[in-house]
A and B are shown apart, each in its own frame.
Chain A
Amino acid sequence: MAAADSPSAALRRRDLCSRGIRLAGKMRSDVVDLLDTYVERQGLDASASVAAVEGVPAAAAERWDEQTGTQRLLENLAAYRAFRTLLAQMLEEQREQLGDADTALGRALAAVLLQVSAFAYHLEELLRLESRGPPSEEGAGPPPLSHLTLFEKKLRGLGVLRELAQWAVRSARDLRQLSKPSPGSSSAPSPAQSP
């Protein structure tokens, strides 16, 4: 059972969840807009199919119902930390490629990156309230991209954004589940450590 079930903790959890849900909603809306801009600027075909991106967990979870709140939070956190790194990489590539750091695409990418960062922070705070504490960031970053061609990099970027859009929907659902006031649903029933 989570030790921090005091009224102030419950209030804080509710506040974080509600703002997290709205942030996830806005993030999804912004990522969808960003996808259009990205496809246009990078000269891609919007319907191109992209293989799963390495380093990003898939948003579609097979056994979502069976997961505990904490498990969901941890999955979300891992995903968004990965996205944070990937988006920073994309921003860097875009600046190198297109030269001008202040283009509309660059600004939109930077804004989404900030939101991903903020969302990751929300998740860390929620985990702290679970008296679980967020796991430390792993040193291993995403695989280097130097072996990819320019075109492959662009496709990868497309994949990242599409997956992020899916994750935003999933995260909103996860947080809504978390904010329901049923006791015990937010903590692991078994003392076993989550991965």
Chain B
Amino acid sequence: MFSVWNWVAHGLYLLLNVCSLEVSGGLVQSCGHIIPESPVLALGSNFTALCILNESCLDFGNIYANQIIWKIKNRVVPKEQYREINRTVSSVTFNDTSLLATPLTCNILADGQIEQNIYGITVTVGLPPEKPTNLSCIVYQVSRLTYPMNCTWNPGRHTFLDTHFRLKYRWPQENFPDCIPKDVNNSCTISDVQFFVNLEVWVEAANALGKAESDPLVLDPIEIVKPLSPHNLTVNSGILPTVLKLSWENRISAAVMKLKFNIRYRIVGSTNWIQVPPEDTASPRTSFSVQGLRPYTEYVFSIRCMKEDGVGYWSNWSEEKTGVTTEDKPSKGPPIWRIIDTSHSPASWTVHLMWKALEPFEANGVILRYEVTVRAKSSLSSPPEKYSVNTTNLTLKLLNGTYEVTVIAHNSVGASPPSVLLIPASNSKAPVKNVRTLPKDGKLWVGWTVPNSYVLKYVIEWCLVSNSSDCVIEWQNEPGNVQGTYLKGDIKPFKCYLITVYPLYADGQGSGQSVKAYLQQDRPSKGPTVQTKKVGKAEAVLTWNHLTVDEQNGFIRSYTIFYKTVDGNETAVTVDPSKTEYTLSSLTSDTLYTVRMMAYTDEGGRSGPDFTFTTQKFGKGEIEAIVVPVCLAFLLIVLLGVLFCFNKRDL
């Protein structure tokens, strides 16, 4: 029962709705329309729209075309731009579409001054496409048989509209499907092109306002190819130590094009690439021997190719491949020097021979051993002694005399030229003069005055002077025509170095001239410890030890002794740095004195610990001078007393 009434109620409700829709259909139906509908307009052009009222609409309360109000978005268009065509049509004109916006609506002021919207259109303003320019294409080889062509162009100014670009290409007698760019508007890739036929390529741009075409490009794709780089590069060493042979496979067949190459190489670890002269690799090939290399050195090679006649683009550089040249015999003998120890007896020497290992570009391989020959020049009868060592030093016991030492370095290929050192019985030739040093740019420069005779070379020795370690000698050779050099080696600041310069002549050696030097000085790390040796009434003898080399940090230029009483001023006395004793005088007796010493280098001074002492109350002999007369006086009084007593008795 209830459900039946429900159904009836629903049915009536629906019917009413349908009827009301029909009745109000006149209001829901649009009162007019605008032409053109959804126009696309060129920027800056002029535009006229018409709003046409429906006849049926006019019945609803006196609606006429002259009541129409045009609006852009929500701004009213000025009435000067309107024109009433007739009772039902109104037009609006815009001289410059750049002032237009969307939507453009046609509205009417109906009875009761209520503005009602009649119709609206979306207006799109933009520009026709500009002619695409700068069209250029390149064919990238992707695999042995695949050659896609990528073209790029300048799409021109922004059009504010949806603009489509197509890359079009054809042969004189054959058309191909257009290339449509994906996601971009300035490039397109054609999946495969044929060679040796002229291809005409151009770009077409189109949007709702028009079309534009670029100038056509006519090319044979074989002339714009970027080939794949050669691959499977192998490097082989041959018989010669300065040559490496490269082989590779080309990935572009000779039927397509002939290639020319660029080969570059560098030593492993270096960043400088060296190019093989391009004219040597300007023709088709699959191998090449690179010459002029260093022996026993690892090189990295890379190669690229392009069309033999130079038309097109170079490929990328191939993957790098390394190879090692074979060994060659050493190019130079090692520099030699010696330390002679005559401490045990002057007639018998302990000679420490030392030589420097060759640099890789001189060693040309792994040095396996050194052959040392010692020939006594003073006695021609004894044969030369030969030694074979694999270290860079040798210690021998020799009798006093003149010797010629030769060192030859051997690697697996052969022997170096000999290096010769003459050890004369005495260093009797002229020495250098005036050895001086100068710290410069973080290095220590040593200079000297050249002796008058012709010097073959100089040997500079240096060692670090320290109390805690031995003076280990380092050395270097210098050519005979220089007068100064920088010490090669790790020279530390604040440390004292003993530097000796020896001139070597063809037939002898000059004695070494030494100098001490610092790369950089500092104030001493400790001050001298002063104490008294002897204290008197008005004087005190102070004594101290010199600072050790490790404490000095520089050359000690002076000492200063500071002494004062408890409530007095401090007095300073400067002392020569060679002294170890000093006598203070004119002191007050029986007074507590505090004394300290400062040592100075060129960079500053440091004070030692304080030392206190008390001057004596009485000077030397003062006590005797008082006690003896007092005793004598006492003795005299006693004697006089005794004598007086005796005198009295007698009476």
Interface residues of A (CB under 8 A from B): 19-20, 22-23, 25-26, 28-30, 33, 111, 114-115, 117-118, 121-122, 124
**A interface footprint on B172-216 (CB within 8 Å = 1, 0 otherwise):** 111000000000000000001011110000000000000000000
Partner pick for B255 among A25, A111, A121, CB 8 A cutoff: A25
A111–B220 CB distance below 8 A: no
Q: How far, in whole Å, are A102 and B171 apart by their CA atoms in the complex?
A: 22
A19–B255 CB distance below 8 A: no
Q: How far, in whole Å, are A26 and B253 apart by their CA atoms in the complex?
A: 9
Partner pick for B194 among A29, A111, A122, CB 8 A cutoff: A111
Does B639 lie at the interface of the complex (its beta carbon under 8 Å from any beta carbon of A)?
A: no
Does B438 lie at the interface of the complex (its beta carbon under 8 Å from any beta carbon of A)?
A: no
List, in ascending order, chain B residues with CB within 8 A of A122's CB.
Answer: 197
List, in ascending order, chain B residues with CB within 8 A of A20's CB.
Answer: 196
A-B contact pairs, 26 of them (CB 8 A): A19-B196, A19-B197, A20-B196, A22-B196, A22-B222, A23-B195, A23-B196, A25-B255, A26-B195, A26-B196, A26-B256, A29-B253, A29-B256, A33-B145, A111-B192, A115-B194, A117-B173, A117-B174, A118-B171, A118-B174, A118-B194, A118-B196, A118-B197, A121-B171, A121-B172, A121-B197
Q: How far, in whole Å, are A25 and B222 apart by their CA atoms in the complex?
A: 14
Q: How far, in whole Å, are A25 and B196 apart by their CA atoms in the complex?
A: 10
Known: A26-B256, A28-B255. A121 touches B196 (CB 8 A): no
Cβ of B309 to closest chain A Cβ, rounded Å? 12
The prevalent SS among residues of A at the interface is helix
List, in ascending order, chain A residues with CB within 8 A of B222's CB.
Answer: 22
Interface residues of B (CB under 8 A from A): 145, 171-174, 192, 194-197, 220, 222, 253, 255-256
Q: Which of B171, B192, B220, B255 has the most CB of A within 10 A?
A: B255
Cβ of B172 to closest chain A Cβ, rounded Å? 6
B192–A121 CB distance below 8 A: no
B194–A22 CB distance below 8 A: no
Chain B residue nearest to A33 in the complex (CB): B145
List, in ascending order, chain B residues with CB within 8 A of A121's CB.
Answer: 171-174, 197
Q: How far, in whole Å, are A124 and B173 apart by their CA atoms in the complex?
A: 11
Q: How far, in whole Å, are A153 and B196 apart by their CA atoms in the complex?
A: 31
List, in ascending order, chain B residues with CB within 8 A of A117's CB.
Answer: 173-174
Q: How far, in whole Å, are A33 and B195 apart by their CA atoms in the complex?
A: 17
A23–B197 CB distance below 8 A: yes
Chain B residue nearest to A19 in the complex (CB): B196
Chain B residue nearest to A114 in the complex (CB): B194
List, in ascending order, chain B residues with CB within 8 A of A114's CB.
Answer: 174, 194
Q: How far, in whole Å, are A29 and B253 apart by their CA atoms in the complex?
A: 9
Q: How far, in whole Å, are A114 and B171 apart by their CA atoms in the complex?
A: 10
Assuming A23-B196, A26-B255, what are 16 further A-B pairs, CB within 8 angstroms? A19-B196, A19-B220, A20-B196, A22-B195, A23-B197, A26-B195, A28-B255, A29-B255, A114-B194, A115-B194, A118-B174, A118-B197, A121-B171, A121-B172, A121-B174, A122-B197
Q: How far, in whole Å, are A186 and B71 apart by their CA atoms in the complex?
A: 78
List, in ascending order, chain B residues with CB within 8 A of A115's CB.
Answer: 194
List, in ascending order, chain B residues with CB within 8 A of A124's CB.
Answer: 173
List, in ascending order, chain B residues with CB within 8 A of A23's CB.
Answer: 195-197
Q: How far, in whole Å, are A19 and B219 apart by their CA atoms in the complex?
A: 12
Cβ of B223 to closest chain A Cβ, rounded Å? 11
Q: How far, in whole Å, are A117 and B145 apart by their CA atoms in the complex?
A: 19
List, in ascending order, chain A residues with CB within 8 A of B171's CB.
Answer: 118, 121
Chain B residue nearest to A23 in the complex (CB): B196
Cβ of B224 to closest chain A Cβ, rounded Å? 15
Q: How far, in whole Å, are A28 and B173 apart by their CA atoms in the complex?
A: 22
List, in ascending order, chain A residues with CB within 8 A of B255's CB.
Answer: 25-26, 28-30
Chain B residue nearest to A108 in the complex (CB): B145
Chain B residue nearest to A25 in the complex (CB): B255
List, in ascending order, chain B residues with CB within 8 A of A19's CB.
Answer: 196-197, 220
Q: Which of A19, A26, A29 has the most CB of B within 10 A?
A: A26
Q: How far, in whole Å, are A23 and B221 apart by their CA atoms in the complex?
A: 12
Chain A residue nearest to B194 in the complex (CB): A114
Q: How far, in whole Å, are A19 and B194 apart by their CA atoms in the complex?
A: 12
Cβ of A133 to closest chain B Cβ, rounded Å? 15
Cβ of B8 to closest chain A Cβ, rounded Å? 66
Q: How far, in whole Å, are A29 and B255 apart by their CA atoms in the complex?
A: 6
Cβ of B62 to closest chain A Cβ, rounded Å? 70
Cβ of A192 to closest chain B Cβ, rounded Å? 29
Q: How far, in whole Å, are A26 and B256 apart by their CA atoms in the complex?
A: 6
Cβ of B40 to closest chain A Cβ, rounded Å? 39
Cβ of A176 to closest chain B Cβ, rounded Å? 15
Chain A residue nearest to B146 in the complex (CB): A107
Q: How far, in whole Å, are A30 and B171 apart by their CA atoms in the complex?
A: 20
Cβ of A13 to closest chain B Cβ, rounded Å? 15
Cβ of A15 to closest chain B Cβ, rounded Å? 9
Q: How far, in whole Å, are A26 and B195 apart by their CA atoms in the complex?
A: 8
> 9 shortest A-B CB distances, which residue pairs?
A29-B255, A23-B196, A118-B197, A19-B196, A121-B173, A26-B255, A22-B196, A25-B255, A114-B194
Cβ of A55 to closest chain B Cβ, rounded Å? 22
Q: Which of B192, B194, B222, B253 has the most CB of A within 10 A?
A: B194
List, in ascending order, chain A residues with CB within 8 A of B197's CB.
Answer: 19, 23, 118, 121-122
Q: Which of A20, A114, A124 has the most CB of B within 10 A?
A: A114
Chain B residue nearest to A107 in the complex (CB): B192
Cβ of A160 to closest chain B Cβ, rounded Å? 20
Q: How far, in whole Å, are A28 and B254 apart by their CA atoms in the complex?
A: 12
Cβ of A167 to closest chain B Cβ, rounded Å? 15
Q: How far, in whole Å, are A142 and B197 apart by their CA atoms in the complex?
A: 27
Chain A residue nearest to B198 in the complex (CB): A19
List, in ascending order, chain A residues with CB within 8 A of B256's CB.
Answer: 26, 29
Q: How far, in whole Å, are A114 and B196 apart by their CA atoms in the complex?
A: 12
Q: How far, in whole Å, are A115 and B222 apart by their CA atoms in the complex?
A: 14
List, in ascending order, chain A residues with CB within 8 A of B220's CB.
Answer: 19
List, in ascending order, chain B residues with CB within 8 A of A30's CB.
Answer: 255
Chain A residue nearest to B174 in the complex (CB): A117
Cβ of A166 to closest chain B Cβ, rounded Å? 16
